[in-house]
Amino acid sequence: MSDQAAIHLGQGGSHAGQATEGGPPLPARRRPLPGPLLGLLLPATLLACAELAVRTGILAPNLLPPPSAILETIAELAQRGLAGHVAASAARVAIGFAAGALAAILLGAATALHRPSHAIFDPTVQALRAIPSLAWVPLLLLWLGIDEAPKLVLIAIGAFFPVYMGVGAGIRGVDRKLVEVARLYRLSPSQQARQVLLPAALPAILTGLRNGLGLAWMFMVAAELIAASMGLGYLLSDGRETGRADIMLAAILLLAILGKASDSLMLRLEQSLLAWRDSFESPSHA
């Protein structure tokens, strides 16, 4: 290799596409695809394969309608009140998740900070956590009837346990040295909770909230499959009873989109809160 080529390499490599002396041109560097486009690559490929499989007769269209037919079904449902179904499901998830998450934060913090409370409540909570969602449905219908109350309670139950686990694990995982330093500075228990425990446990708490939101959507479907006249779960049940796989897959697709959208919003909130926490932990705020 000539001295001139060596100098080019020593300065970080020659420009892409330029030839080195006596050798072939270097390959041009390709910019990687943005994250959102990479995330769409797999579902787009699966949808294209499904469309091709149905169009070529590999799969029966009555069992797996092509994605194009599902989009047509969504357009048809949009003219028959699809927005009302989406709004009903989203409202149930929002209310049930808020109630379940609030109860989980309070009880999780109490059991993590107070050992007697942990000894009293945690074994029962862990036992209830193992109960499948559908096992609650008959009991809630018996106790609360078939109105909105059993649906909201079931969604709250689904959201409760992941948030409870995240809060408890986050607070118990705080470095004890931080607590000792707070005590040396004679911070009150409430000040310790606000200034030490909550910021340190925030990542685990936010992860629990994201998991709880995902389970809230799952429990919402379980609730609407049993007793509902509106909602995406009702559309699933209606598609099953009428033998229309396109309606069922349309409802599943909408559930996936709404679940991903709500998770993305929660992720944005998580990033904002963690950035806010880090800004107050920086030396400039010390």
Query: So where are the chain's domains?
Result: 89-229+253-285
Neighbours of 63 (CB within 10 A): 8
Which of these, 48, 29, 73, lies nearest to 238 by C-alpha position? 73
**Do 159 and 100 meet the contact criterion of CB atoms below 8 Å apart?**
yes
CA angle 152, 153, 156 (to 5 degrees): 85
Q: What are phi and psi of 19, to 5 degrees?
A: -85, 140
pTM: 0.81
Which of these, 163, 192, 194, lies nearest to 176 by C-alpha position? 192
Neighbours of 59 (CB within 10 A): 15
DSSP code for 25: B
* CATH architecture of the domain with residue range 89-229+253-285: Orthogonal Bundle (1.10)
Q: What is the pLDDT along the chain (286 residues), one digit of tens a residue?
A: 444 444 444 444 444 445 445 555 555 566 666 667 787 888 889 989 988 998 888 988 888 899 999 999 999 999 999 999 999 999 999 999 999 999 999 999 999 988 899 999 999 999 999 998 888 888 888 898 888 899 999 999 999 999 999 999 998 888 778 777 777 777 777 777 777 888 888 999 999 999 999 999 999 998 887 777 899 999 998 898 888 999 999 999 999 999 999 999 999 998 998 888 777 665 444 4
Burial 115-153 (b: 16+ CB within 10 A, else e): eeebeebbeebeeeeeeebeebbeebbeeeeeebebbbb
Neighbours of 92 (CB within 10 A): 25
Which of these, 172, 140, 135, 149, lies nearest to 99 by C-alpha position? 149
Token representation of residue 156: 């709250």
* 3-state SS assignment for residue 19: strand
Neighbours of 216 (CB within 10 A): 29
